[in-house]
Homo-oligomer: A and B are copies of this chain.
Amino acid sequence: MENLRKYFPILEWGAEYSRQILVNDLITGVIVTMMLIPQSLAYAQIAGLPAEVGLYASIAPLILYAIFGTSRTLAVGPVAVASLMTAAAVAPLAAQGTPEYLGAAIALALISGLMLIVVGLLRLGFLANFLSHPVIAGFITASGVHIAASQLGPLLGIHIHGETLIGLVGSIIGSIGDIHLYTAVIGLISLIFLFWVRSKLKPLLIRLGLGERAASMLAKAGPVASLVTAIIVVWIFRLDNSGVTIVGSVPEGLPAIAIPPFDLALWSTLAVPAALIAILGYVESISVAMTLAAKRRQRVDPDQELIGLGAANVGSALSGGFPVTGGLSRSVVNFDAGAETPAAGGFTAIGIALTTLFLTPLLFFLPKAVLSAIVIAAVLTLVDVGALKRTFVYSKADFAAMAATILVTWIRGIEAGLIVGVALSICLHLYKTSRPHIAVVGQIPGTGTFRNVKRHAVVTDPAILSLRVDESLYFPNARFIEDQINGGVAANPDVRHVILECAAVNEIDISALESLESINQRLRDGGITFHLSEVKGPVMDRLKRSHFPDELSGKIHLTHYDAVATINPELARQTLESKATR
């Protein structure tokens, strides 16, 4: 039963469901539906898919997440970045508008979903951690700009193409003479309206006497308002006859069960993009879910979340949708509107289902330029220049990973950007640990504490070389440390004892063990004893499995003071008892 609840969180919150919770969830469901209708259509457009696919991806996934997900407030469905990644993965395989293109997008959702479920069942969620914050932040910023550029085509009524930002920009510049006036006017007015709604509407409504929360919610209806207005304008003036591209007929009714194509060659081509969509979608989603959960003292189970999102994607695929995940903006609205359980998501799904049943004929005259405006207004919030600055100030290595992710995403595309970012993060870490900080330490007068001779006034014995390595000892730095110790001994001919302080050494692997053995051997040949100090419990447990402690010419001491006091008790005690010189 405990296990059943773990895999079906609905059993837990479902048991406590009440009338009051129902009311809150229902209201939230209506609000999020109003937000999701334009977004689902717009994100389908980013992915290069027909409008109804966006709606389909907003029904089954929400219900499945409500059953399997552990966040009470995460709003699942199409999101901008995953839609862009879908377009990038599918575009090389088939032409937009063909059944093969749609089939590949559906297969992509299925594969990512299955991957998420498998990773969740195997409890391998930690793999997502290798996507470092700078890489995610860089990738999202890069994607935001890329998506915005890709939507300038429909917004201005020009035909653009290009799989990278560079390609898109070239294409936009080349077609700038072909801008379609009516389309551009509709698109730009919508865009200005949306920006106005975001920054000015809420204060205005408050000034008009509305409550803070009601004003905030009403301001979220901006996209729906622009959509309705544009439909009416195009319909009255029949602007479609003047060349304004419209959505056209959207099939009515609920999605049929789709059988994604089972084509091994297709699946293996889609494996890498599906994995990247799964990882990135998961990382984004779990961050949002954890942040919101913490605000209400709730808990999210990272492994069960994989299963929840995986089920949502499989559900999307089986109902003819494309990859989905938990989105930031809708989740925040869901949270603020007062969603108490995932049932709110279920009500949203019902709202979208009703839309596909009854409202699709109304979408006929919807100009695509408005959807582009909605996309651009949404994705520009993803661009985070502040993060670039903060990262630059804090760490040049992290900034390098971030900048590389952005530039490679723009120049070489989505997949290359993410892969280069992750690889560079790992390489920079390995590089840093391969040449660790090594300090010569001495005793602080009046204490048994040893500190860096360069930062503190300390007492040292010329016969003793005390070194502190600030890193685990492992293969990338084993030879470096060997070289540093050899160099230190060669530079100080009076040295008779070397003590390595290991308080910051969290691991000694076998490469480092062999280096320590050869250091010991060489020092012994030169008549110098070699000691270790402050070796941690787990590291010591492991050292005991080798012959090293027996072969060591010196000893392994509990504290660095013990080590020095064993070699030169007089000086160590005098320094301990003396007053600090300054």
Interface residues of A (CB under 8 A from B): 126, 128-134, 290-291, 294-295, 297, 299, 302, 390-391, 393-395, 397-398, 425-426, 429-430, 432-437, 452, 455, 470-472, 474-480, 482-483, 486, 490, 503-504, 506-507, 509-511, 513-514, 518, 521-522, 525-526, 536-538, 542, 545-546
Contacts and interface: CB of A to CB of B under 8 A. Distances in A.
Contacts of A395: 509-510, 542
A478 B437 contact: no
Nearest to A451: B537
Contacts of A397: 509
Contacts of A128: 479
- Most chain B beta carbons < 10 A, residue from A129, A518, A536: A129
Contacts of A510: 132-134, 390-391, 394-395, 398
Nearest to A538: B437
Contacts of A430: 130, 426
Nearest to A437: B538
Given A126-B480, A437-B538, A536-B470, A295 B525 contact: yes
A133 B504 CA distance: 22
B536 A126 contact: no
A128 B479 CA distance: 10
Contact of A297 (B429, B436, B526): B526
Nearest to A539: B470
Contact of A509 (B132, B294, B506, B521): B132
Copies of the polypeptide in the assembly:
2
A134 B474 CA distance: 11
- Most chain B beta carbons < 10 A, residue from A132, A434, A482, A518: A132
Given A129-B476, A393-B545, A537 B452 contact: yes
Contacts of A476: 126, 129-130
A46 to B, nearest CB: 28
A525 B294 CA distance: 8
Please classify the interface of chain A as helix (H, G, I), strand (E, B), loop, or mixed, using the class held by over half of its residues: helix
A132 B126 CA distance: 25
Nearest to A125: B479
A299 B490 contact: yes
B126 A513 contact: no
11 contacts: A126-B476, A128-B479, A129-B478, A130-B475, A290-B518, A299-B490, A394-B513, A429-B474, A432-B507, A470-B506, A471-B506
Given A294-B486, A297-B526, 16 more contacts: A126-B434, A129-B476, A132-B509, A132-B511, A133-B514, A294-B521, A302-B483, A390-B546, A391-B510, A394-B545, A394-B546, A425-B475, A455-B537, A470-B536, A471-B506, A504-B536
What 8 pairs between A and B have smallest CB-CB spacing?
A132-B475, A133-B511, A398-B510, A294-B522, A470-B506, A132-B511, A129-B476, A129-B479
A286 B297 CA distance: 58
Nearest to A132: B475
Contact of A394 (B291, B479, B542): B542
Nearest to A474: B429
B506 A436 contact: yes
A475 B542 contact: no
- Most chain B beta carbons < 10 A, residue from A395, A425, A522: A395
A512 to B, nearest CB: 9
A129 B429 contact: no
Nearest to A439: B537
Nearest to A506: B470
Given A393-B546, A394-B546, A477 B538 contact: no
B546 A480 contact: no
A129 B291 contact: no
Contacts of A394: 510, 513, 542, 545-546
Nearest to A429: B474
- Most chain B beta carbons < 10 A, residue from A397, A480, A509, A545: A509
A129 B503 contact: no
Nearest to A295: B525
A490 B479 CA distance: 44
A294 B526 CA distance: 9
Contacts of A522: 294
A315 to B, nearest CB: 26
A470 B297 contact: no
Contacts of A546: 390, 393-394
A353 B474 CA distance: 44
A476 to B, nearest CB: 5
A231 B391 CA distance: 72
B480 A437 contact: no
